Copies of this chain bind each other. A is one copy, B any other.
Amino acid sequence: MKITEKLQRQRTKEPSKPTFSFEFFVPKTLQGVQNLYDRMDRMYLTNPQFIDITWNAGGKVSMNNANTNDLIHTCQSVLGLETCMHLTCTNMPVEKIDEALQKAYDSGCQNILALRGDPPVVDEKAQQSNALKYDGFNYAKDLVKHIRDKYGDYFCIGVAAYPEGHPEENNVDILIDYLEEKVNAGADFIITQMFYDTDSFIEWCGKVRAKGIDIPIIPGIMPIMSYDSFLRRAKWCQINIPKFFLDKLDPVKEDDQAVRLLGTDLVVEMCQKLLDSGYVTHLHMYTMNLEKGSLIILEKLKIIPPLHLTTLTTVNQFAISTEHDDNLPWRKSLNPQRKNEMVRPIFWQRRPYSYVARTSEWEADEFPNGRFGDPNSPAFGGLDLLGSSLIRQSGKNCLQLWGHPTTLKDFGDLIVKYISGDLKCLPWSDTPITSEVDSILHYLKDLNKHLIFTINSQPKVNGLPSNDKVFGWGPKNGFIYQKGYLEFLLPKAELGRFLELVNSNDSLTYYAIDNDSNLYSKDGSEKENADSDNASEIPGSKANSVTWGIFPGREVLQPTIVEKESFLAWKDEFYEILRQWKINFDNHEGNEKSADLINSIINDYILCNVVDNNFISPEQQIYSLLTQLY
């Protein structure tokens, strides 16, 4: 959605509340990108109106280097964050600009911050050789006009403003003339350079408005994290530091902690003044890819509740903020291709990245099985996730995070560490465990102790209010349900006994499959006439809805399913993850025993899932069945 639309909507709300956004830059390594996604996930919970990402064409550091378009795509598609893409025009051929715009368009990004960028480097030799090819723009206004010409009203276009002057132009009035030209070229909003001189900024706003420029002005806010960086950035931007800033900070400049505390108070005071001025309803936080500095300012301004800051590192990074009242139990994608996505297989519950990657080729109405009932399940994309690895950690990080398990007991202990919240991820779970599992945690721990390894789970829920702190999702005044679910690795020796027990239980349906693709199942779709093409068979027996919600004036929403086709795809992914983990041990000397362990799990265990379809009974049938196997 367009930023201006979001701001307009927020302004007309009663009571209207200030809003905010976060700026990030593209990290230099893939691990850095992964860490940034984790951070963005957490910051999503504070409900920013948008995030923006500075321009980086990528490819400079290594072949694997992510670029701005990659981040925009992931934020829109996987994280469900509304994005704004920075785009610079100097030193950029038009075809490069057009490629970036098209990629943003395809990702569903509707906001561009159109910038001039660094002044062209004068390299005559290069210029000569590129003389025919290079046809870029010299000014941001040219870029704005180009985007408008090419995409009409599709993009919401922002432009930069320099309330205290620009390194190349000191005269603020001339800069406002330039700003006016950019606005006339088609800009929709303004984001300003950082500043600390509030009075001067407010005066500048007055001038801008006097000039007839009436689009939103969004001040860029730079938190103060250390005295050095504070001075350096101010100097670099050539902005004025009010005397009372220095008076407060200089005495404690050696104490980073004190600088942060006092600096935060100063910036909070500044932001409050901005909001009170009437010119500003939205704060744009220059995060420098850090979360705490920006969040504490917003918290002190009472724009976000204190809860967010204190618990942010422990909450589920993929949890649903209650502020997103139209959400499903997983994060809704903002990619236009996925706008009809209403259902996901539970197998990827804690692997949103690989799920989105593997389903990225699906049409808008194929999520999945054409929203239930269509027997032609779309094929899942391959396991080659655009060069990314299935284990979203570097080889070194794998060893650091998960160590060197050599026995089945070690393997179980690792899982217990994860489900207890002491480990943020596992090779097959990218996102941390949530308090949702609390009610079944002792069962899970017990199973892992008995070398039945739990992979994924959800407890039963029988009609909790949709605003429940742990399980709630969706619109208000609704009711939430879950069927009990457990996915686990069972020693092949126990399979016969397991099948005997589970087949004789009316409430339980299951799938079990080994590395050689031998499949065992009872999925509720067997009917005496299953092979017949007659009309009496109920459609929709292909998928088992395990999470659903009932809401006023709506159809039943059933966002999570268990289903055969997707389980088969998940099985491939799961065993491939184990293989990649094993290979990582192979690649690091001295880990032969760990490699053997993973290998034996691949060969001697079978991947099973069981659904307890009686979500009403308090009896824990899955666990009482499995304990019979000890």
Contact = CB atoms under 8 A, between A and B. Distances in A.
Interface of A: 1, 5, 9, 13, 108, 326, 328, 332-336, 338-340, 342, 371-373, 462-463, 474-477, 479, 481, 506-507, 509, 522-525, 527-529, 532, 534-545, 548, 550-558, 561, 611, 613-616
Contact of A538 (B13, B326, B462, B548): B326
Which one of A1, A534, A543, A554 has the greatest number of beta carbons of chain B within 10 Å? A554
A234 to B, nearest CB: 38
Given A334-B535, A523-B553, A556-B558, 20 more contacts: A1-B534, A1-B536, A9-B529, A108-B535, A326-B527, A328-B538, A334-B536, A335-B535, A342-B373, A342-B540, A506-B552, A524-B551, A543-B554, A543-B555, A544-B554, A545-B555, A548-B556, A550-B613, A551-B613, A555-B558
A554 B540 contact: yes
A525 B554 CA distance: 8
A407 B513 CA distance: 71
Contacts of A373: 340, 342, 371, 555
A507 B478 CA distance: 9
Contacts of A551: 524, 613
A550 B326 contact: no
Contact of A544 (B474, B542, B553, B615): B553
A539 B541 CA distance: 22
Contacts of A540: 342, 554-555, 557
A553 B613 contact: yes
A441 B528 CA distance: 40
A242 B536 CA distance: 43
Q: Ordered nearest first, which 5 A-B pairs have the shortest CB separation?
A: A524-B553, A552-B613, A339-B535, A509-B553, A540-B555
Contacts of A342: 373, 538-540
A613 B477 contact: yes
Nearest to A12: B528
A506 B477 contact: yes
A65 to B, nearest CB: 29
Nearest to A527: B326
Given A477-B506, A532-B5, A545 B537 contact: no
A540 B339 CA distance: 12
A462 B462 CA distance: 11
13 contacts: A1-B536, A9-B528, A9-B529, A13-B528, A340-B539, A371-B371, A371-B372, A371-B373, A477-B613, A523-B553, A540-B554, A545-B550, A545-B554
A336 B509 contact: no
A538 B478 CA distance: 14
A550 B481 contact: yes
Contact of A541 (B1, B532, B553): B553
A541 B554 CA distance: 5
B614 A477 contact: yes
A522 B552 CA distance: 10
Contact of A554 (B336, B522, B524, B557): B524
Contacts of A339: 535
A622 to B, nearest CB: 13
Given A524-B551, A525-B553, A535 B479 contact: no
A555 B540 CA distance: 6
Nearest to A542: B555
A616 B334 contact: no
Contacts of A372: 371, 555
B616 A479 contact: yes
Contacts of A537: 326
A507 to B, nearest CB: 7
B541 A333 contact: no
A30 to B, nearest CB: 28
